[in-house]
Amino acid sequence: MDPHPISIYSRLTSALGSGLVALSLCAATTPALTQTDKAVKIGVLLGFTGPIESLIPPMADSADLAFKQVSDSGQFLDGKTIESVRADSTCIDAGAATAAAERLVTSEKVVAILGADCSGVTIAVANNVAVPKGIALISPSATSPALSTIDDDGLFFRTSPSDARQGKVLAQVIKERGYDTIAITYTKNDYGKGLSESLQAGFEALGGTVAISTAHEDGKGDYTAEVAELAEAGSDLLVVLGYADQGGIGIVRAALDTGAFEIFGLGDAMYSPTVLDSIKADGNDLTGSFGTVPGNEGEGVDAFQEIVTPVGLDGQGPFTGESYDAAALMALAMQRGGEATSEAIAANMIAVANAPGEKILPGQLDKALKILAAGGEVDYVGVTNVELVGPGEAAGSYREYEVQGDEFKTVRFR
Amino acid sequence: MEPPPHPSPVDSNVVDTQAVDTKAETKRPPAPWRRPLWIAVGVALGLAVLSMVSRDGGGIDLLNALVRFANFVVIPGISYGCQLGLGALGVTLIYAVMRFSDFAHADTMAFGAMGVILATRVLQGMGISAGPLPTALLALPFGILGAVTLALVFDRAVYRFYRRQRAAPVTFVIASIGAMFVTNGLVRLIIGPGDQRFADGDRFIIRVQTFKEMTGLSEGLALRTTHVITLVVAVMVVLGLFVFLNRTPLGKAMRAYADNEDLALLSGINPERVALWTWIIAATLATIAGTLYGLDKSFKPFTYFQLLLPIFASAIVGGIGKPLGAIAGGFVVAFSEIAFTYPYRKILGYLGFETDSLVQLLSTDYKFAVCFIILVVVLIWRPRGIFQGRVI
């Protein structure tokens, strides 16, 4: 057999890759190796690299915090522990995400996967790995409406609401602020397309006009041309449904530089301090721009703050609460089913998330585990007031925010 | 792919320009027709302008249209054109002297710019700044040093081996693709795949709001510091390079080597020395181009990788192997990319042609397609480019 140079290359890299994986595994799982029968492996498949890499570390840490609380309680499935295995979904590369999920299932033998983060890769992982292999997939942040209707065999859940709802809420916010004609630009993927379509439908239903709605490609150096196109259509407000580390901020920057727009409507993925910092570093000002992000207030949020502050985690970051809730729900569902399997998660997810039962706040996981072990019922409230509806997705409430100076101010919850 | 036996790849101003002129002469309309043609075009344009200005508020509208055109097309086009031109200059130089297309050039730009960013961070940490200008300009020598080192390491480790083998150009091209991947990986390893902003100092010379207040026009114009810096630096670098190639013994040796390798060797030119200086100059150009692009837009390894196509398009459109062609090609590609994807609705509105359509030839998604179209058109109808470079 004539070894083709490319195949040598791929063999080399895969050998190198598996070597690295083995190495990192050794480092990460040394304590677990001594108690393999007690550790339940759960994959954490999030975009550690890629367009939302700045949002991911707090999300993954929040999930790990929940797993740690479950492990430390000693109540989980008669004293078992949960060990999370991280993998990179890249947020945009469906092939890479599928491969990473495949690795989690076949070589890491995870029981279930928490992830993925972005809608496109989540759909790919659900279709190519989770459903064929019967693995439960719980996403903290995939919000595309398309995920409500995929053929998931009851294995897919999400603790974030569908964008079908965010679009409506954002449309309402825009309309109430007195804008009648808007331009929309969205990141060219399932998330952007889904959200832009629901926003357009919602805004037109309220009697508004969408002058132009175009997609933008991520990862370009310059967005002046895209902004010119949006500005030509003639509208008062530019709604940017893009990513904070990518095209979204590029569009905002180019629009401010060329004076095409001054006020922006922003989607949830733009809710990131990096946006404010870098716009401020340009000498521009985003004051007056506004948007929506999944979030809520109440006991859950306060309780979450109390448990994250001591460990130095930022509990305010987008989707951190959702990540914690997703992790907690997976553990509780397994506890209710009495076994560490995907079937147990799929069968008991809704039961532990919704009424009836004892209300459970973040930090009370040991209490919930005890109740479930005794055969009782819990209604996990969590950080985000989780209520799973329809095909297993959060009903969701949204925070309306506005930029004032160099911070995001919460206007109200909807 | 083989170059013809005795082309004149580097622009030797005196002899070659004349040759180009006589060749080009045959394609233009015969001399007696030229003047009336120009007069007719001038009169038509004058009439068009007059008819617009004579409308109500026509003068102001015309100014508004011009300002808008300048803000969205001319200013971005000039700075992008300079950046592409400097990049293409390096490609064309390597092609002329080393006789292969250097696919690693865009990544060399990223590598050089990365050096500049790291040095900028250090300088900023030490509290050194260039006042209203970006600190990156001070850091430029460090970036150049880094890129030159990298280029020389590749030359010693890879290209020299093939040069001694007298390998076919295609072997060099494939080797340069390898160098591209290595450089690409190095940049990501050192500085990471993410966005880096390193522009400091005053961001604007004229802001949109200030311009509107100053002139009272409804359209604004933004002139960023980086636009001006790009233009000034590019002009200086190009002038310097031309003086070097045409006036210094080393530049002449390079051109001689490019013209005819065997004759140059016979007359005692040291090929290793020529190769050394070609790499030094190309890496310097790459760093400057990369830094200007990063300052003006933003630094991201993947964006630089994508610059490869427009840079090659520029070099080929201009005539590969022709320094002047690289600059011209850079502007042709930059302006085509922007002008073909710009919607002219508002400008036409100012000129009295109200319309509901955006009047946009191509969606901005097709920017890359413009590069490809230019490449195809040029390779079919004018394979040697505007300045009659080599055929590849």
One DSSP character per residue, A309-341 reads: TTTT--TTSTTHHHHHHHHHHHHHHHHHHTSSS
How far is the C-alpha of B155 from the C-alpha of B284, rounded, in Å?
A: 15
Tell me whether 0.85 is exceeded by the ipTM.
no
- Higher-pLDDT residue of A189 and A155 is A155
Q: Are residue A89 and residue A130 in the same domain, yes or no?
A: yes
pLDDT at A221: 79
Instruction: Please give the sequence-ordered ranges of beta strands (E in DSSP) within A353-414, or none if there are none.
Output: 358-360, 378-380, 388-389, 393-394, 398-404, 407-413
Does some domain include residue A48? yes
Instruction: Measure in Å the smallest separation between the Cα of A53 and chain B Cα atoms.
Output: 9
Is the pLDDT confidence value at A335 over 70? yes
In the numeric block, which tokens belong to residue B261?
């390798």
pLDDT at B314: 94
Does some domain include residue A14? no
Is the pLDDT confidence value at B240 over 90? yes
Q: Does B203 sit within 8 Å of A282, measured CB to CB?
A: yes
- Higher-pLDDT residue of A88 and B11 is A88
pLDDT digits (tens, 9 = 90+) for B48-58: 777 766 666 67
Average pLDDT over residues B346-360: 82
How far is the C-alpha of A132 from the C-alpha of A125, rounded, in Å?
A: 10
- Higher-pLDDT residue of A201 and B129 is A201
Element (H, E) at A115: strand A112-115
Of A212, A221, A231, the CB nearest to B297: A221
Range B234-246 burial, b when 16+ CB lie within 10 A, else e: beebbeebbeebe
Average pLDDT over residues B307-328: 92
Domain's final residue, options A232, A261, A287 = A287
Q: Are residue A307 and residue A390 in the same domain, yes or no?
A: yes
Using a CB–CB cutoff of 8 Å, tell me whether A88 touches chain B. Answer: no
Q: Does A257 sit within 8 Å of B222, measured CB to CB?
A: yes
Q: Tell me how far CA of residue A163 lies from CA of A156, A160, A293, A389, B126, in angstroms.
A: 16, 9, 10, 14, 47
Can you give the pTM of this predicted structure? 0.73
Does some domain include residue A352? yes
**To probe the interface with A, which of B64, B67, B69, B72 has the most A CB atoms within 10 Å?**
B72
Residues in chain A within 8 Å Cβ distance of B298: 221-222, 250
Q: Does B220 sit within 8 Å of A221, measured CB to CB?
A: no
pLDDT at B354: 80
Q: Does B76 sit within 8 Å of A259, measured CB to CB?
A: no
Q: Contact at 8 Å (CB) between A263 and A237?
A: yes
Is the pLDDT confidence value at A101 over 60? yes
Q: Tell me how far CA of residue B271 lies from CA of A132, B264, B277, in angstroms.
A: 62, 8, 10
Of A49, A219, A229, the CB nearest to B303: A219
Instruction: Measure in Å the smallest separation between the Cα of B68 and chain A Cα atoms.
Output: 10
Domain's final residue, options A253, A287, A321 = A287
pLDDT at B43: 86
pLDDT band for position B363 (50/70/90)? confident
Residues in chain A within 8 Å Cβ distance of B358: 212, 229, 232-233
Q: Does A224 sit within 8 Å of B76, measured CB to CB?
A: yes
Longest dimension (CA), chain A: 70
The percentage of residues in chain A with a pLDDT greater than 70, rounded to a whole number, is 91
Counting the structural domains of chain A, the total is 2
- Which CATH number belongs to the domain containing residue A70 in this structure? 3.40.50.2300
Using a CB–CB cutoff of 8 Å, tell me whether B227 touches chain A. Answer: no
Does some domain include residue A364? yes
The type of residue at A25 is L
Q: Are residue A274 and residue A180 in the same domain, yes or no?
A: yes
The type of residue at B216 is G
pLDDT band for position A18 (50/70/90)? very low
Q: Are residue A50 and residue A112 in the same domain, yes or no?
A: yes
Domain's final residue, options A262, A287, A312 = A287
Average pLDDT over residues A333-337: 93
User: Which range among A264-268, B46-50, B299-303 shows the weakest confidence by mean pLDDT?
Assistant: B46-50
Does some domain include residue A2? no
How far is the C-alpha of B89 from the C-alpha of B312, rounded, in Å?
A: 10
Is the pLDDT confidence value at B170 over 90? yes
Q: Contact at 8 Å (CB) between A132 and A163?
A: no
The percentage of residues in chain B with a pLDDT greater than 70, rounded to a whole number, is 90
Element (H, E) at A214: strand A209-216
Q: Of the segments A214-223, B102-111, B122-131, B317-326, which one has the largest average pLDDT value? A: B102-111
Range of the domain at A267: 164-287
Does some domain include residue A16? no
Is the pLDDT confidence value at B4 over 50? no
Average pLDDT, chain A: 86
Q: Are residue A179 and residue A283 in the same domain, yes or no?
A: yes
Pairing type for strands A112-115 and A264-266 reads unpaired
pLDDT digits (tens, 9 = 90+) for A180-213: 999 999 998 888 998 999 999 999 999 999 999 9
Using a CB–CB cutoff of 8 Å, tell me whether B172 touches chain A. Answer: no
Q: Are residue A335 and residue A310 in the same domain, yes or no?
A: yes
How far is the C-alpha of B180 from the C-alpha of B150, rounded, in Å?
A: 11
Instruction: Measure in Å the smallest separation between the Cα of A247 and chain B Cα atoms.
Output: 11
**To probe the interface with A, which of B71, B82, B191, B195 has the most A CB atoms within 10 Å?**
B195
Is the pLDDT confidence value at A24 over 80? no
Does some domain include residue A401? no
Nearest CA in chain A to B72: A228
**To probe the interface with B, which of A90, A187, A224 has the most B CB atoms within 10 Å?**
A224
Domains of chain B: 62-381 (1.10.3470)
Q: Are residue A271 and residue A364 in the same domain, yes or no?
A: no
Q: Are residue A283 and residue A169 in the same domain, yes or no?
A: yes
Angle formed by the axes of helices B75-98 and B225-247, nearest 10°: 30
Q: Are residue A176 and residue A275 in the same domain, yes or no?
A: yes
How far is the C-alpha of A379 from the C-alpha of A387, rounded, in Å?
A: 9
Q: Does B343 sit within 8 Å of A228, measured CB to CB?
A: yes
Q: Is A360 helix (H, G, I), strand (E, B) or coil?
A: strand
The closest alpha carbon to B116, from B139, B147, B83, B146, belongs to: B139
Average pLDDT over residues A67-75: 92
pLDDT at B33: 72
Residues in chain B within 8 Å Cβ distance of A56: none
pLDDT digits (tens, 9 = 90+) for B36-85: 788 888 888 887 777 766 666 677 888 889 999 999 999 999 999 999 99
Q: Are residue A54 and residue A133 in the same domain, yes or no?
A: yes
Is the pLDDT confidence value at A68 over 50? yes
Residues in chain B within 8 Å Cβ distance of A226: 364
Does some domain include residue A176? yes
Q: Are residue A272 and residue A184 in the same domain, yes or no?
A: yes
The closest alpha carbon to B307, from B131, B136, B4, B104, belongs to: B104
Q: Are residue A148 and residue A178 in the same domain, yes or no?
A: no
Q: Tell me how far CA of residue A303 lies from CA of A315, A335, A383, A384, A395, in angstroms.
A: 10, 22, 8, 11, 21
Q: Contact at 8 Å (CB) between A391 and A366?
A: no
